Structure 1
Amino acid sequence: MRGNISLCYEHHLYSCQKIIYPLVMRVGMYFLIVGMYFLIGIIIFATIVGNLLVIIAVIHFKQLHTPTNYFTLSLAVVDLLLGGVVMPPKMIHTIETCWYFGTVFCKILTSLIVMLCSVSVLNLAFISVERYIAVCNPLLYHRTMKPHVTLIMIAVCWSYSAALGIIFLKQNTLRVEHNSEVLCKGACVLEIGPMAALIVSLFSLYIPSVIIVCMYVKIYIVAQRHSRSIHNTLSHLKTSRGQPTVSKAERKATKTLAVVMGVFLSFWTPPSIYTTYVAFYGYNGPPQVMQAISWTVFSNSACNPIVYAFFYCWFRKAIKAILLGKVFRTNSSRMKLF
């Protein structure tokens, strides 16, 4: 059954269409819309609260000031910005089917999404390199992975992504202006050419993803070799290669971050293939498909704190201390978490 056609902006000549369903269907649609607001609201709430807890924990507790956790902090900041800035207007756009926040904010928001997503992938790539050095060459790790080195890597990650976001903003603006005659008011579309889409995907997703996979395959091989060597020699201090054994904490961190990266790649791979196909072949599927893909990607931001809570004992202790207000006590920053 087809609905009656209404407009996003009733008095605008070039307004986009908005579907108003018949009364019988409207009752069901009302409960559906309320349910969607509730579901997406939970995702936004979990993303903001979970990542805010991660940020407070890493910043407050001195014991967590490690290179690995600095990358975790950077990743949590990205997810917090996605939850607090990107998701609320995208929720309204998804459910109401109209964009009510203006063309300028639409362009800024799409550019911000590209930037934050790029930061996430590059952060994970740097984490995989850091884990590779920690597991495969512990002596080199303690000599080179100082806090200032980690901060430089994070700064490079954010600077590159910010530059990419600015370039993307300019390209998107030019293409939107070029196609302004066919774009209606109330739409917020992503306009990017095939070559630009390929470059962005290549340097901000595909190459970092290959690095991540290669690093963790190498880590797995080396970890298995170390395990066999320790088992055969019954030594807890040295492997047959003469290097220090990898500590239990390092193995735990590596396993946890591998899960984080696996979840990220499982969420991101299908949307990336779809958007690349759309950019090259000009296929315009139903807008609901793109919205569903977007929220699949955004949901990943709510998953990372859940993974930390499941795997990290220190994170559970930190959450308990934060929620009980223990962080306001004197010298609480030196509390032992592990």
Structure 2
Amino acid sequence: MNSPELWKAPEVQVCFALVNNSCPRNVRSVLSVSTMYTVMIGAIVMTILGNLVVIIAITHFKQLHTPTNFLILSMATTDLLLGCVVMPFSVIRSIESCWYYGDLFCKVHSCCDIMLCTTSIFHLCFISVDRYYAVCDPLHYVNKITIPVIEVFLLISWSIPIFFAFGLVFSELNIIGIEDFVAAIDCTGLCVLIFNKLWGVLASCIAFFLPGTVMVGIYIHIFTVARKHTKQIHMGPMRKEVGSEGRMKASSKTESKATKTLSIVMGVFVLCWLPFFLLIITDPFINFTTPEDVYNIFSWLGYSNSTFNPIIYGMFYPWFRKALRMIVTGIIFRPDSSTLNLFPGHA
């Protein structure tokens, strides 16, 4: 004889068993959960360690105290904060669909997420400006890209994203007009950032599309100018002083390599974040029907940009690899380590 219990539907697991209106908890297989935790925690560890190396190297070695590297230092700090403040809490939310840390911290977490993302691309935008003067106007570069100018760049890169992120989330402008939908999905343990049609477009333009378009335009111009300089050097239309041509070629090669590297940094950023921002724009127009796992995949693809940046430095910057060896082997603890030469072939 069949027992009545056999006909019961599987019990739905919730985030808070003793709380009314608790959100349902995402139930996954042990293999899926183990794989997701391994990948996400691995990404967090790589993000923190990689950007920590960049920060230690640039702050410790005097030879790296240049305007461009100060921008890279600030961007590495942004990526480090993302790895420490945002990504760890997003792991639980992504795997279990539960938020255990309260409504206030949910808003703070969302603010930090928007702020650090926007700050990163603002840094990349100003780095492209730095590269523009280095390649297109090298004679006036030292006079135009000074420490006070870098300080202005950093002030803009941090202040605007802070006001934008915290102002938008705490004013709740992003949910005007969709209050009924928000109320319908509201439950204890939910932490999602939903944008209405207007702010889905505006936020994506402010944080990604507008500065990204500026960067692409600047880099296209830089590559055009750099290619023209290279042709002029190789053609050698007039006789130059002994040794001057070699110095020009070396300088051109160095600037070209640095520009290509920073372009790759920008390209990786665009590829990592473009799917997410396209989703933010389109989701309100399809009545928020994007599957939760798709949203999480695109979010973590964006987070992975902060993991990739130090890897790119390691692949293309010899000074980064040498600084990493000195940090790992403990050479940086020597009294004279801050003045050691990090550029092979340079006196």
Asked if TM exceeds 0.5, the reply is yes
- Given that 1:68 and 1:130 are in contact with CA atoms closer than 8 Å, whether structure 2 keeps it comes out as yes
Question: Could you report, residue by residue, the CA deviation over 1:287-311 in whole angstroms, capped at 9, with x for unpaired residues?
Answer: 1111111111111111011000000
**1:158 has 2:165 as partner:** no
Match of 2:186 in 1: 183
Alignment equivalent of 2:226, drawn from 223, 226, 229: 223
Question: Which deviates further from its counterpart, 262-271 or 306-315?
Answer: 262-271
1:152 alignment partner AA: V
Q: Report the TM-score, using the length of structure 2 for normalisation.
A: 0.88
| 1-structure distance, mates of 2:91, 2:236 | 57
- Cα shift at 1:237: 4.1
Match of 1:65 in 2: 65
- Given that 1:237 and 1:245 are in contact with CA atoms closer than 8 Å, whether structure 2 keeps it comes out as no
Match of 1:11 in 2: 18
Q: Report the TM-score, using the length of structure 1 for normalisation.
A: 0.91
Match of 2:292 in 1: 287
Instruction: Report 1:19-38 matches (<5 A).
Output: 19-20=26-27, 29-38=29-38
Match of 2:92 in 1: 92
Question: Could you report, residue by residue, the CA deviation over 1:17-59 in whole angstroms, capped at 9, with x for unpaired residues?
Answer: 12547xxxxxxx1122112111111100000000000000011
| 2-structure distance, mates of 1:151, 1:174 | 31
Match of 1:128 in 2: 128
| 2-structure distance, mates of 1:311, 1:50 | 14
Aligned Cα root-mean-square deviation (Å): 2.3
Secondary structure in 2 matching 1:43: helix
- Given that 2:174 and 2:199 are in contact with CA atoms closer than 8 Å, whether structure 1 keeps it comes out as no
The number of residues matched between the two structures is 327
Question: Could you report, residue by residue, the CA deviation over 1:235-264 in whole angstroms, capped at 9, with x for unpaired residues?
Answer: 5747xxxx9984432222111111100111
| 2-structure distance, mates of 1:298, 1:170 | 23
- Structure 1 runs not aligned, ≥5 long: 22-28
- Given that 2:27 and 2:96 are in contact with CA atoms closer than 8 Å, whether structure 1 keeps it comes out as no
| 1-structure distance, mates of 2:27, 2:285 | 33
Secondary structure in 1 matching 2:13: strand
Secondary structure in 1 matching 2:104: helix
1:200 alignment partner AA: A
- Cα shift at 1:280: 3.9
- Cα shift at 1:191: 2.7
Question: Which deviates further from its counterpart, 94-103 or 84-93?
Answer: 94-103
Instruction: Return closer, same or farther for 1:204/1:173 CA change in 2, 3 Å cut-off.
Output: closer
| 2-structure distance, mates of 1:66, 1:174 | 40
Aligned-residue sequence identity (percent) comes to: 38
- Given that 1:58 and 1:65 are in contact with CA atoms closer than 8 Å, whether structure 2 keeps it comes out as yes
Match of 1:40 in 2: 40
Question: Which deviates further from its counterpart, 131-140 or 178-187?
Answer: 178-187
1:298 alignment partner AA: Y
Match of 1:309 in 2: 314
Match of 2:253 in 1: 248
